Chain A
Amino acid sequence: MGKTLAEKLLGAKAGKEVVAGELVIAKVDVAFFQDGTGPLAVRQLRKVNLEKVADPKRSILFIDHAAPSPRRELSNDHMLLREFAANTGAVLSDINEGVCHQRVLEDYAKPGDVVIGADSHSCTAGALCAFATGMGSTDVAVGMALGRTWFRVPPTFRVECKGQFRKGVYSKDLILHLIGTIGADGATYRALEFGGPAIDAMPMWQRATLSNMAVEAGAKAGLIASDNLTREFLKKYGREGDFTEIRPDPDAKYERVIGMDVSELEPTVSCPHTVDNTKLARELKGTRVDQVFIGSCTNGRFEDLEVAARIMKGKKRHVKTRVIVIPASREVYLDALRAGLIETFVTSGATVLGPGCGPCVGVHEGALGDKEVCLSTQNRNFKGRMGNPEGFIYLASPATAAASALRGEITDPREVL
């Protein structure tokens, strides 16, 4: 019987043929924590005298959520992670290196891997055709120490995409629209599998945005077949040898197939306080914006910054709208520097900060004031997310964010392109 990507990937690592619904114990290829979930994971391992890692080269501790540390408690947490890395030989990705999910794409995950991260957006590596999923501290701690974990093989929703994006429309608009359609719990316990001609033609940076946000529909994974574009991406990071082609079988059994024609999409925005509360950007014209954030594991890649910079070049931000730009990783930062994007942003009145999560999770670098409105390229707009339950967060693509930064209100980017 034909297999979905989820069935293929988990079956290969469980060493047997599997179908959706089955319980498997699978080999873990890449395991990681970040500074918000890592300290608890380390303490859990110490509780049972299991301070070790099965594969040090592919066990990574990322200091990215509060990087550099804004206060002593977090500095102490960072010390604990550095100590764990020293004790076990695990890789430490310190404050200069960037957001875990971008780093995992660049240097660690490859097609066919099982990737577990103590961060809900670990599904991002599904864009490289790895079975990648987020878990809690204890699950990842155990998986990292033993090199194995358990899964229930998820049933799959196939998202079959055809057509061509119109100008000013990106994969961020696609995924926001999809979540708006199926709901924030529309794919709970399922894998999403993105495919079809529009995905085959989609560059890696846009695929990563889709996989990143799978969890916002409740999904366990957001999988995409590996192809020549995957190979090109790995090559850029010196890992062409990591490439293998993996596709779902044509007769795979899907629980549901959702057809989408991406030519019909328009710039889309999620409104406070849930990701599935979507509207078109043009319907929100006139909504004041106090802060724009361009960055995060969702849309902080080089090409995202390039899209935004092209819109802001030679123009100034609206006087009442502050703009924060954060490259997702050091590599992205360097590419942006070399391409002159950083200069464009700074000249247009943006604040550019070092690689990391920035204000996305409300720890530092741009917490909202009471009743303030932020338009962000991140993946989540829950109440309180950016440091203040009295704040309002809208989610959109880098193009919509840049256009809104110029106008000081939510703006359909096609008005400025």
Chain B
Amino acid sequence: MILEGKVWKFGDDISTDHIAPGRLFHLRSNLEELAKHVLEDADPEFAKKVRKGDFVVAGNNFGLGSSREHAPTIIKMAGVSAVLAKSFARIFFRNSINIGLPVLECDTDKLENGDTLRIDLSAGVIEDKTNGAKLEFVPLPDAMIKILNDGGLLAHIEKHGGFKLD
């Protein structure tokens, strides 16, 4: 699969409170509305300006904090096609795969805000079309590739009637 879009750059330690703040707890059953606030506490303009296909690009430990699956869900709903970071917090990473949001671990230093990226998911290659940089991302564990290929965890369970990961 080929993904193409612009970079929205964030720093290290972007927490689930930056992405889906607790003060909006009452919107968790209204994801359309919650998605209008996605990443609000890191960049108040982001939700308004992000375009379908764009990428969230960050430093270390993206998604640390709460187990709220609403965080990757509203990133996906905002149109983001993948999140790229130097590293991810564990629960966020697993949640993203479960709901079908690609999360790619790579060295994001060369990717600048506003750059256009082209990502070949199956080949594992990221190309920064603005500055010509080419990067590879760390392949996902096999179990996660299976879940992602089935379309997320629910689809996986429906398809196989249980876990089929080996």
Q: Which residues of A contact B (CB under 8 A)?
A: 23, 25, 36-37, 39-40, 44, 47-48, 50, 65-66, 71, 73-74, 76-77, 80, 117-120, 122, 134-139, 142, 146, 148-150, 152, 184-185, 188-189, 215, 218, 220, 274, 361-363, 367, 380, 382-389
A382 in contact with B17 (CB, 8 Å)? yes
Q: Taking the complex as formed, is B61 at the interface, i.e. its CB lies under 8 A from any CB of chain A?
A: yes
- Which residues in B have their C-beta under 8 angstroms from that of A117? 67
- Which residues in A have their C-beta under 8 angstroms from that of B141? 23, 152
Other A-B contacts than A50-B157, A73-B26, 6 sampled, CB-CB below 8 A, are: A23-B142, A77-B28, A138-B98, A220-B90, A384-B17, A387-B22
- Which residues in A have their C-beta under 8 angstroms from that of B27? 73
Chain A to chain B contacts (Cβ below 8 Å), 14 pairs = A74-B25, A120-B65, A135-B95, A136-B94, A137-B67, A138-B153, A139-B94, A139-B153, A142-B157, A148-B162, A188-B61, A362-B23, A380-B17, A383-B17
Give chain B interface residues in 15-44, CB to chain A under 8 Å.
15, 17-18, 21-23, 25-30, 41
> Contacts A23-B165, A44-B154, A385-B17: A134 and B91 contacting too (C-beta < 8 A)?
yes
- Which residues in B have their C-beta under 8 angstroms from that of A215? 91
From B18, B68, B89, B162, A37 is in contact (CB under 8 Å) with B68
Q: Which residue of A lies closest to B44 (CB)?
A: A389
Q: Taking the complex as formed, is B66 at the interface, i.e. its CB lies under 8 A from any CB of chain A?
A: yes
A36 in contact with B25 (CB, 8 Å)? yes
9 nearest CB pairs, A to B: A362-B22, A136-B69, A136-B95, A185-B61, A73-B26, A361-B22, A382-B17, A382-B15, A120-B67
From A76, A136, A138, A363, B29 is in contact (CB under 8 Å) with A76
Q: Which residue of B lies closest to A38 (CB)?
A: B28
Q: Taking the complex as formed, is B99 at the interface, i.e. its CB lies under 8 A from any CB of chain A?
A: yes
A362 in contact with B163 (CB, 8 Å)? no
Q: Which of B30, B64, B90, B94 has the most CB of A within 10 A?
A: B90
B18 in contact with A185 (CB, 8 Å)? no
A184 in contact with B18 (CB, 8 Å)? no
Cα separation A175 to B27 with both chains bound (whole Å): 33
A138 in contact with B64 (CB, 8 Å)? no
Q: Which of A25, A36, A135, A185 has the most CB of B within 10 A?
A: A185
- Which residues in B have their C-beta under 8 angstroms from that of A136? 67-69, 91, 94-95, 98
- Which residues in A have their C-beta under 8 angstroms from that of B6? none
Q: Which of A44, A47, A50, A136 has the most CB of B within 10 A?
A: A136
> Contacts A184-B64, A185-B87, A185-B89: A362 and B25 contacting too (C-beta < 8 A)?
yes
CB distance from A25 to the nearest CB of B (A): 5
B29 in contact with A77 (CB, 8 Å)? yes
Q: Taking the complex as formed, is B127 at the interface, i.e. its CB lies under 8 A from any CB of chain A?
A: no
Q: Which residues of B contact A (CB under 8 A)?
A: 13, 15, 17-18, 21-23, 25-30, 41, 60-61, 64-70, 73, 87, 89-91, 94-95, 98-99, 141-143, 152-154, 157-158, 162-163, 165-166
B13 in contact with A37 (CB, 8 Å)? no
- Which residues in B have their C-beta under 8 angstroms from that of A120? 65-67, 91
CB distance from B32 to the nearest CB of A (A): 13
Cα separation A77 to B27 with both chains bound (whole Å): 10
- Which residues in B have their C-beta under 8 angstroms from that of A71? 26
> Contacts A119-B67, A138-B154, A387-B22: A218 and B163 contacting too (C-beta < 8 A)?
no
Cα separation A136 to B153 with both chains bound (whole Å): 11
- Which residues in B have their C-beta under 8 angstroms from that of A388? 23
- Which residues in B have their C-beta under 8 angstroms from that of A135? 67, 91, 94-95
- Which residues in B have their C-beta under 8 angstroms from that of A122? 67
Cα separation A384 to B17 with both chains bound (whole Å): 6
A385 in contact with B67 (CB, 8 Å)? no
CB distance from A234 to the nearest CB of B (A): 26
Cα separation A119 to B66 with both chains bound (whole Å): 7
- Which residues in A have their C-beta under 8 angstroms from that of B66? 119-120, 361
> Contacts A39-B28, A139-B94, A362-B25: A382 and B157 contacting too (C-beta < 8 A)?
no
> Contacts A139-B98, A362-B23, A383-B17: A389 and B41 contacting too (C-beta < 8 A)?
yes
B28 in contact with A36 (CB, 8 Å)? yes
A185 in contact with B41 (CB, 8 Å)? no
CB distance from B146 to the nearest CB of A (A): 10
Cα separation A122 to B21 with both chains bound (whole Å): 20
Q: Which residue of B lies closest to A190 (CB)?
A: B90
From B26, B29, B61, B142, A218 is in contact (CB under 8 Å) with B61
Cα separation A215 to B67 with both chains bound (whole Å): 10
Cα separation A120 to B71 with both chains bound (whole Å): 13
CB distance from A39 to the nearest CB of B (A): 5
B90 in contact with A189 (CB, 8 Å)? yes
- Which residues in B have their C-beta under 8 angstroms from that of A362? 17, 21-23, 25
Q: Which residue of B lies closest to A277 (CB)?
A: B13
Cα separation A137 to B16 with both chains bound (whole Å): 14
From A137, A138, A383, B15 is in contact (CB under 8 Å) with A383
